[in-house]
Amino acid sequence: MRGEYFLSSVKYSVKSIEGWYVSYALLGAAAAGILPILLPTVVARTSVAAHVGLVMATFNLGGLSAPLWGRLADARRLHRALLAGGMACTACASVAFPFAPSLPAWLALAFLQGIGVAAAATTANLFIVEAHPRSQWDARIGWLQTFYGGGQVAGLLAAGLFAQDASSAGLVTAGGLAAVAVLPALLATPRLPPQQTLKRPTLTHPVRHAEWPTGSPQRMYHHPTTSGLRLLGSSQRASFRLFLAGWFLSFGGSAAFFSLYPVVMRQTYGVGPALSSAGFAVSAGLGLLLYTPAGRWSTRGRPLTVLRTGLAVRAASYAVVSLLVFTRGPLRGWLTLGTFLVIVLAWSALSVASTAMVADMYARGKSEGEGLGLFNAATALAGVAGSAGGGWAAGAWGYGAIPLLALVGTAAGLAVFLAGRFEGRVRQEVPQ
């Protein structure tokens, strides 16, 4: 009986996979694997640290256009056009980037890359929730995220091969992957009804890939709205405003480190881009295995406890990495990579717990989607601020200051979550 149940579960799971998921695996390889490694590497080769931070902040800034594309898809039913057009925009900007002659051109192309990723990624879940019954959403969204996370791991491994000499071949390859993704996006996506059949439902699945603020199909589904901002101003939302403040500080601190990761590893710890990319790929792959246990921990205990634990682990890890800046010896690089593995693995717990906390604090109902939209907007803004701040800090004090900046942001966020009260649910409905 157990064997038959297992086989039936496998068959049902396999049926949840659609051909167009390949497009999102390719998007994950380009947007979450190759570009975040090669963009800072290419810029750092010929420019100063502050410019590296500006380019990565602009790349993340493009992700803030996601609400525009989501509303356009809902209103005009342009899902396939946005998906294919976003892939094509990312492809063209990636191919042109290594040949750009100046900082303004880099910023323009990085912004186009972010916009293209946002336009493509924001429609991903719409192809599931509008084409399939609710009972199938969990399995299909889970597979969508798995394809994206697998693409990220493959992209990180590929980035390591190209990052040795920071040549144009890697970014051209990222553009090629995005261009190839256009075909299944156009031909294999399901047909959607001409009219939206339901208001955008709430999806509380955590983002199942290592932490980049741009390019997540799940992250770009829920958007901030004016009604959500009005609710945020209510006195009943004091605990949620405190939650957003703590999350902004902790995520922004980490974004400073992650956005400049390959350059920091090379300039500060003597770890080449091939090894640092491979280390990130291993960490991201192992992290995919921790989402289910993290979900169980969050359910059995309290998501706030899981969130505090994850931030405490990260703060301790950043402290170790900061101390390693002042050490010398052949083991320093390997100790840094090992500590970085812990930093990445902690993201599984943070992603699950933070999403659960937002759902809990805004309650099950209309306002839950509003809370998730504000949460995602705060995450994206923290990514922009952290990237720009990291570049400024590296320009002022050197790349060795980045781990300390990450430690300060993470510790400040942890202090907010330790001192604040986040109990209870607010069940007020969204005003019409």
What CATH number is given for 18-190+197-419 in this structure? 1.20.1250.20
What is the arithmetic mean of pLDDT over 225-229? Answer: 82
Query: Are the C-beta atoms of residues 366 and 230 closer than 8 Å to each other?
Result: no
Which pLDDT score, from 0 to 100, does residue 135 have?
86
pLDDT category at 218 given cuts 50, 70, 90 is confident
Distance (Å, whole) CA 208 – CA 144: 9
**Number of H helices and number of E strands within the chain?**
19, 0
Which pLDDT score, from 0 to 100, does residue 276 have?
94
Which pLDDT score, from 0 to 100, does residue 193 have?
83
pLDDT of residue 52 exceeding 70, the answer is yes
Query: Are the C-beta atoms of residues 120 and 136 closer than 8 Å to each other?
Result: no
**What phi and psi values does residue 208 have, to the nearest 5 degrees?**
-105, 60
Which pLDDT score, from 0 to 100, does residue 232 have?
79
- The candidate with the shortest Cα–Cα distance to 73, out of 185, 254, 195, 187, is 195
Which pLDDT score, from 0 to 100, does residue 214 have?
63
Residue-range domain boundaries for the chain: 18-190+197-419
| Single-letter amino acid, residue 262 | P
Which pLDDT score, from 0 to 100, does residue 224 have?
87
pLDDT of residue 4 exceeding 70, the answer is no
What is the arithmetic mean of pLDDT over 155-165? Answer: 86
Radius of gyration of the chain (CA): 21
pLDDT of residue 332 exceeding 70, the answer is yes
Distance (Å, whole) CA 276 – CA 363: 41
pLDDT of residue 155 exceeding 80, the answer is yes
**Can you point out the beta strands (E) in 129-229?**
none
Q: What is the pLDDT of residues 101-136, one digit of tens each?
A: 899 999 999 999 999 999 998 898 889 988 888 888
Which pLDDT score, from 0 to 100, does residue 101 have?
85
Tokens read off for 298? 């969050």
Show contacts of 189-194: CB within 8 Å, 24+ apart. 189/20, 189/23, 189/79, 189/80, 189/83, 189/127, 190/18, 190/20, 190/127, 190/131, 190/132, 191/131, 192/77, 192/79, 192/126, 192/127, 192/130, 192/131, 193/130, 194/77
Report which of residues 239 and 309 the model is more confident about.
Answer: 309
Which pLDDT score, from 0 to 100, does residue 203 have?
84
SS3 content of the chain, % helix, strand, coil (to 5): 75, 0, 25
Percent of the chain at pLDDT exceeding 70: 91
pLDDT of residue 347 exceeding 70, the answer is yes
Question: What's the burial of 108, exposed, middle or buried (CB within 10 Å: 0-12/13-18/19+)?
Answer: middle
- The candidate with the shortest Cα–Cα distance to 348, out of 134, 97, 131, 149, is 149
Instruction: Give the SS3 label for residue 17.
Output: coil
Q: What is the pLDDT of residues 400-424, one digit of tens each?
A: 999 999 999 999 999 999 998 775 5
Percent of the chain at pLDDT exceeding 90: 59
Q: How many residues does the chain have?
A: 432
Question: What's the burial of 276, exposed, middle or buried (CB within 10 Å: 0-12/13-18/19+)?
Answer: buried
Question: What's the burial of 133, exposed, middle or buried (CB within 10 Å: 0-12/13-18/19+)?
Answer: exposed
Distance (Å, whole) CA 213 – CA 210: 10
Tokens read off for 219? 């992250």
Q: Which of 50-59, 90-99, 286-295 has the lowest mean pLDDT?
A: 286-295
Q: What is the pLDDT of residues 25-47, one digit of tens each?
A: 999 999 999 999 999 999 998 89
Q: What is the pLDDT of residues 61-82, one digit of tens each?
A: 998 999 999 889 888 889 999 9
What is the arithmetic mean of pLDDT over 226-251? Answer: 86
Q: Which of 122-131, 200-209, 387-396 has the lowest mean pLDDT?
A: 200-209
